[in-house]
A and B are shown apart, each in its own frame.
Chain A
């Protein structure tokens, strides 16, 4: 899962990252195929090369040795709104078949069953990055036909509904604990591109909250290399703080 996330990033790109698996994916990319990747956190840290595994987006290790720090408003205006972010690495409690993300409430907004943290930077990161990569555990209750609340816009109701809001970009991939999903060019519906080693298309479908279609050339996800596994386990997350949440 982490290796699959890292492969979505290209060298010299700028990526807005969150804590957990997204951050591990970005740090892995930085140590393998994308040494010039610029990691940006919503705390305003730009270009970090942390000395230890950061446990929050404002961890002090992100600061020491980074090449720049923006204040809060500048981070969202001059970096994101101005159009300098290539990739947003985002997650949420629910993701639907058009890549919309809910991190606000389960149930009704005014009488929520579960109150979640809310947007944070998510809404504008999803709206304004040149593309977004969604990273999420793959469970039926999380991968739903329609999210209870659109916190961060994906393709909204599919087809060209996102463009009607003058938003470019949109989700390019969804990396889950079970596979990699991408979007149909016309309908903008999510479909399975690959399932992780040891799993099958049928197993992924059983854990998805709608009738998931597969890409015509659906295949097994390329497994992580020995070197990627070594970097993750020995250098980036030796205590397994985030890795234990990422199956394969």
Chain B
């Protein structure tokens, strides 16, 4: 399946979409396809919206954002996010704001088939407690001490990028895995893009690396460099220059639309995107190899 087909088939206006990737493996290729398809009224949950959600915001695809840290990592602000919240541009944005821990716990509850997850009461000492309706405080039935409960989150759709999977969607990831497993298992449908589709045999030779089982994956798309400008551990480095250029070139809605024209709308698919990125820049982002040693699982035939 191509990204285009996956988005046409599984992304619907008004859905709640959980986006995977924590600095590492952010599914830009699928998101750009969603922008080109002019998806509307999406609710998006992503602990760190990063540039990916900022671009969806600037394109007017999003009505609601659930998040815990909305910045350009290591660089500065997310300008579309700030425009939406400070100036209601391009339209008002409903927000639900948590801490990282609470976002993680909400996904874990959703992925575990539970209505809530208990978490520390630390958040009660913060002003966030006055602006959130996603947690309640109860007396613990075992200790009698106060404890917070946070509500499960179950997205309609999970969008994940990983290093590799087989054709059945048995998805493997290494490096920073973030909440990818929890987001996928909490969601009704799952789209995965990968750097490469590999033989099932390769997946089965290293089953501990699997984060999502294929039986729960609706679409798997082979999309090399599908996480650029974020990175894919062992495949290519983070394009820090893109993150810095974004800071300078998206300060107004007008500039932002120009940026989207260049990187999303004037481009038909990821192949063209990579042409636009250019060989030179791509080779500067290629990383030197640094292999792990194989482990012995034992053979019982």
* Binary flags per residue of B116-138, CB closer than 8 Å to A gives 1, else 0: 00011111111110010000000
CB distance from B69 to the nearest CB of A (A): 3
Please tell me if B222 contacts chain A, counting CB pairs below 8 Å. Answer: no
A56-B73, A118-B67, A151-B128 known; A69 vs B121 contact (CB < 8 Å): no
Contact B97–A118 (Cβ < 8 Å): yes
Q: Which residue of B lies closest to A64 (CB)?
A: B290
Contact B101–A162 (Cβ < 8 Å): no
Bin the interface of chain B by size: 35 or more
Contact A119–B86 (Cβ < 8 Å): no
Bin the interface of chain A by size: 35 or more
Contact B127–A80 (Cβ < 8 Å): no
Give the number of residue pairs across the A-B interface with Cβ within 8 Å: 169
Q: Which residue of A lies closest to B183 (CB)?
A: A72
Task: Give Cα distance in the complex from A120 to B70, angstroms.
Answer: 8
With a cutoff of 8 Å between Cβ atoms, the chain B residues found around residue A104 in the complex are: 97, 127-128
Q: In this complex, which of A63, A81, A119 has the most chain B Cβ atoms within 10 angstroms of its Cβ?
A: A119
Contact of A149 among B120, B127, B175 (CB under 8 A): B127
With a cutoff of 8 Å between Cβ atoms, the chain A residues found around residue B127 in the complex are: 104, 109, 149-151
Please tell me if B68 contacts chain A, counting CB pairs below 8 Å. Answer: yes
Q: Which residue of A lies closest to B111 (CB)?
A: A73
Contact A162–B125 (Cβ < 8 Å): yes
Q: Which of B63-105 contact A (CB under 8 A)?
A: 67-71, 73-74, 77-78, 81-82, 85-86, 97-101, 103-105
CB distance from B233 to the nearest CB of A (A): 5
Overall SS of chain B's interface: mixed
Please tell me if B166 contacts chain A, counting CB pairs below 8 Å. Answer: no
List chain A positions with a Cβ less than 8 A from chain B: 19, 42-45, 55-60, 62-65, 69, 71-73, 75-77, 80-81, 104, 109, 112-124, 126-128, 149-153, 156, 162, 165-167
Task: Give Cα distance in the complex from A44 to B174, angstroms.
Answer: 12
Please tell me if B225 contacts chain A, counting CB pairs below 8 Å. Answer: no
Contact A58–B121 (Cβ < 8 Å): no
Contact A72–B179 (Cβ < 8 Å): yes
Contact A56–B100 (Cβ < 8 Å): no
Contact B238–A124 (Cβ < 8 Å): no
A43-B176, A115-B85 known; A73 vs B104 contact (CB < 8 Å): yes
Q: Which residue of B lies closest to A242 (CB)?
A: B74
CB distance from B228 to the nearest CB of A (A): 13
Task: Give Cα distance in the complex from A151 to B233, angstroms.
Answer: 32
Contact A73–B68 (Cβ < 8 Å): no
Please tell me if B48 contacts chain A, counting CB pairs below 8 Å. Answer: yes
CB distance from B49 to the nearest CB of A (A): 9
Please tell me if B263 contacts chain A, counting CB pairs below 8 Å. Answer: no
Q: Which residue of B lies closest to A80 (CB)?
A: B101
With a cutoff of 8 Å between Cβ atoms, the chain A residues found around residue B124 in the complex are: 165
A72-B22, A112-B85, A150-B125 known; A120 vs B68 contact (CB < 8 Å): yes
CB distance from B77 to the nearest CB of A (A): 8
CB distance from B42 to the nearest CB of A (A): 20
Task: Give Cα distance in the complex from A162 to B98, angstroms.
Answer: 21
Contact B175–A60 (Cβ < 8 Å): yes
Contact of A77 among B77, B105, B237, B287 (CB under 8 A): B105
Task: Give Cα distance in the complex from A152 to B122, angstroms.
Answer: 9
